[in-house]
Amino acid sequence: MCLFCKIVDKKIPANIELESDDFMAFHDINPKAPVHILAIPKLHVDSFNEVSAQTMGGMTAFIQELTKKLAIDKSGYRVITNVGENGGQEVKHLHWHVLGGSKLKWDHLADADPKDFL
């Protein structure tokens, strides 16, 4: 059973911010912004590569509800999902990083220099 499935099953504790029948949102253990929440489907999906359009529809409504609850919907936020090795995905259970609470940086993201690919 993967780490986030254990959190869903309450076998590992997490600081849960919002929960529905199908989705869960909890605080990232190593926050990179004043607000850093992970939103996941309860049913295991490895990554964005495998997620269905139906699950994405539910996730969208859930994340919108989450950002309202956190009162970051008006000030702005960022939603990110990392996929695979180059994406930097460490936990192989689909999760959306919801980041906000202050102005976020938008910096050079790749190891490679983008100018080398022009």
Rounded to whole angstroms, the Cα distance separating 88 from 31 reads 16
Rounded to whole angstroms, the Cα distance separating 78 from 98 reads 6
Out of 17, 65, 73, 82, the residue judged to bind ligand AMP by CB under 6 A: 82
Q: Say which DSSP state 74 is in.
A: T
From residue 57 to residue 76, the character string flagging contacts with ligand AMP as x (rule: CB under 6 A) and all else as - is --------------------
Q: Are 9 and 1 in contact (CB under 8 A)?
A: yes
- Residue 35 makes contact with ligand AMP by CB under 6 A: no
Rounded to whole angstroms, the Cα distance separating 72 from 36 reads 11
In whole angstroms, the minimum distance from the beta carbon of 116 to ligand AMP comes to: 25
Q: Is 44 a catalytic residue?
A: no
> Among 22-30, 53-61, 66-74, 106-114, which window interacts with ligand AMP (CB under 6 A)?
22-30
